[in-house]
Copies of this chain bind each other. A is one copy, B any other.
Amino acid sequence: MSNCSHCIMKRFNALKTLTHDELERFSDHKTSIIIKKGENIMTEGNSINGLYCIQDGKCKLTKLNTNGKEQIIKFIKGGDILGHRSILSEEPVGLNATALEDMRVCFIPKGDILESIKDNPQFSLNLIKNISLQLSHANTAISQMAQKPVKDRLAETLLSLEEIFGVDNEDCIDVILTREEIANTIGTATESAIRLLSNLKKDGVIDLLGKKIKIINKNALKNISEGY
């Protein structure tokens, strides 16, 4: 099994402040998991007893509404970590993490994480910063959901998806989402999302190649996202 000391994860996030000894301890206790597309890494309301390091693959963090609708809160990719909020706050997981494609994930038991939090102030500070940043993004999202029309939110979401996942060799946003998932991200009906995507294509702002989306005019998209 691979060793945490050499893992790409430690280039990212809070993990980069871990010492060699801490990484060795993680290595000894970690388990590697394969999550198939559509499966959950974590499930809303469940308790969790460790930290997940995403080696490879993408997932969506969702919340099920009282009306049965799924809201996508955030996207996660290789190099991200999951579960630290729940460990720190000692509360159940608040979101579902569902694989958008097959994933490789490492699980590090809670005990090891807590030990590093106790011993390594820089590590815990970085975890706090991570959560703070998420809160800051969430507040922005509340504001935009509440006050921007669907078209603006779609434009914003497309820009943000390209930001997060980058582009493939055909310059398409490098993530495969159904139209329903896009709708569940911006908070609208699937048909509305489809219609607005078609309009953006007609206006030459984006191109649609099956499920793949290519941003053609990023400036136009930025303007739309700001209501122009």
Residues of chain A whose beta carbon lies under 8 Å from any beta carbon of chain B: 63, 65-67, 69, 71, 73, 85, 88-91, 94-95, 118, 121, 124-125, 127-129, 131-136, 138-148, 186-188, 226-227
The CA of A147 and the CA of B133, in the complex, are separated in Å by 24
| Cβ contact within 8 Å between A63 and B139 | yes
The CA of A188 and the CA of B145, in the complex, are separated in Å by 11
| Cβ contact within 8 Å between A65 and B135 | no
- In the bound complex, residues from chain B placing their C-beta under 8 Å from that of A95 are 139
**15 A-B contacts (beta carbon < 8 Å):** A65-B144, A67-B147, A67-B148, A67-B226, A71-B146, A73-B139, A88-B132, A89-B129, A89-B133, A94-B139, A131-B132, A138-B141, A138-B142, A141-B142, A145-B146
The CA of A136 and the CA of B44, in the complex, are separated in Å by 11
- In the bound complex, residues from chain B placing their C-beta under 8 Å from that of A187 are 145-147
- In the bound complex, residues from chain B placing their C-beta under 8 Å from that of A134 are 135
Q: Of B65, B91, B142, which is within 8 A of A147 by CB?
A: B65
The CA of A187 and the CA of B187, in the complex, are separated in Å by 14
Q: Of B63, B66, B121, which is within 8 A of A118 by CB?
A: B121
The CA of A135 and the CA of B141, in the complex, are separated in Å by 12
Q: Of B85, B141, B147, which is within 8 A of A132 by CB?
A: B85
- In the bound complex, residues from chain B placing their C-beta under 8 Å from that of A90 are 129
| Cβ contact within 8 Å between A140 and B88 | no
- In the bound complex, residues from chain B placing their C-beta under 8 Å from that of A136 are 85, 89, 91, 94
The CA of A121 and the CA of B121, in the complex, are separated in Å by 9
- In the bound complex, residues from chain B placing their C-beta under 8 Å from that of A146 are 71, 145, 186-188
The CA of A186 and the CA of B146, in the complex, are separated in Å by 7
Closest chain B residue to A226 by CB distance? B66
Q: A65-B147, A71-B143 are in contact. Are A85 and B135 (CB under 8 A)?
A: yes
